[in-house]
């Protein structure tokens, strides 16, 4: 089999480990940098893994799909997960416990006229590297963000009291991996990633239902436990890093071969 990796970071631990497993099994692995002109030449590979979420990466994935090549995750599914408005709307319609999300447009005009009665979380509408994700407790903090990100399209979520730790769930096909990470919204800031040997009942199935809903094969789900212990989904990411999870490279290599 020939497997293509669409990425500008071929040394990423998950990708490099999965590529090593595939090569050791006698399969060809091709690296495609979406920033390189004519990244594709000749016949398409049997399957492509889409790790680059930039506009050039998505356009390259679409070209390959038009040629009939399977792409994991598809360009359409990856694009959906970059729009937090559409992501939330789809989850709510499906009856999943997704954080209440409203779109307010550019940050500065909204911030100038809003009155906060309780803490909120402000996020860039379009998910990307180094985007805006911040807890806002008062109008002073909101004004600071508006000065820094005046024209940023944002979504707003009511802050749900929680332990300050995110449940990081990652899925590769049917395999679900999990860890705890102190939230970047906690007073102490983002902290270490800790093992999570046992998930609350039903959370693995909830994670898989997200994959089915968004047509994702490799994805991450951020869940917090609310005051009564029930799960609340706060974000979904297509093809995250999934670092330091035993068995993840093997699962990714096996998934690539199945999709090929």
Tokens at 178, concatenated: 């999990």
List of residues 6+ apart from 43 with CB closer than 8 A: none
Please tell me the predicted confidence (pLDDT) of residue 37: 65
pLDDT tens digit sequence for 42-97: 789 999 999 999 999 999 999 999 999 999 999 999 999 999 999 999 999 999 99
Distance between CA 98 and CA 77 in Å, rounded?
Answer: 18
pLDDT tens digit sequence for 118-177: 999 999 999 998 999 999 999 999 999 999 999 999 999 999 988 888 999 999 999 999
pLDDT tier for residue 186 given thresholds of 50, 70 and 90: confident
SS3 84: helix
Distance of CA 259 to the CA centre of its chain: 21
Q: Could you write out the DSSP letters of every residue in 25-36? A: TT-EEEEE-TTS
Please compute the mean of the pLDDT values over residues 16-42 and round it to a whole number.
Answer: 89
Q: What percent of the chain has pLDDT over 90?
A: 81
List of residues 6+ apart from 4 with CB closer than 8 A: 29, 30, 31, 32, 44, 45, 47, 48, 49, 64, 69
Look-up of token digits 């070209």: 63
Q: Which of 168 and 187 is assigned the larger pLDDT? A: 168
Mean pLDDT of the chain: 93
Residue 162 is classified by DSSP as -
């Amino acid at each position: 089999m020939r497997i293509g990796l669409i990425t500008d970071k071929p040394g990423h631990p998950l990708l490099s480990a999965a590529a090593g497993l595939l090569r050791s099994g006698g399969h060809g692995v091709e690296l495609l940098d979406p920033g390189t002109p004519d990244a594709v030449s000749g016949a398409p590979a049997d399957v492509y893994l889409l790790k680059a979420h930039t506009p050039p990466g998505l356009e390259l994935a679409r070209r390959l799909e038009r040629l009939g090549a399977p792409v994991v995750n598809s360009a359409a599914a990856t694009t959906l997960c970059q729009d937090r408005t559409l992501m939330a709307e789809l989850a709510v319609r499906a009856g999943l416990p997704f954080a209440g999300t409203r779109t307010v447009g550019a940050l500065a005009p909204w911030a100038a006229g809003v009155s906060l009665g309780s803490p909120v979380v402000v996020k860039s509408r379009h998910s990307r590297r180094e985007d805006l994700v911040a807890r806002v407790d008062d109008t002073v903090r909101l004004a600071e963000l508006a000065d820094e990100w005046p024209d940023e399209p944002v979504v707003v979520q009511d802050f749900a009291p929680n332990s300050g730790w995110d449940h990081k769930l990652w899925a590769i096909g049917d395999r679900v991996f999990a860890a705890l990470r102190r939230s970047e919204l906690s007073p102490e800031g983002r902290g270490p990633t800790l093992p999570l040997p046992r998930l609350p009942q039903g959370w693995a199935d909830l994670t898989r239902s997200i994959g089915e809903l968004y047509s994702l094969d490799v994805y991450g789900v951020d869940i917090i436990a609310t005051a009564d212990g029930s799960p609340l989904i706060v974000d979904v990411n297509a093809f995250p890093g999934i670092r330091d999870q035993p068995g993840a490279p093997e699962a990714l290599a096996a998934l690539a071969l199945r999709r090929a």
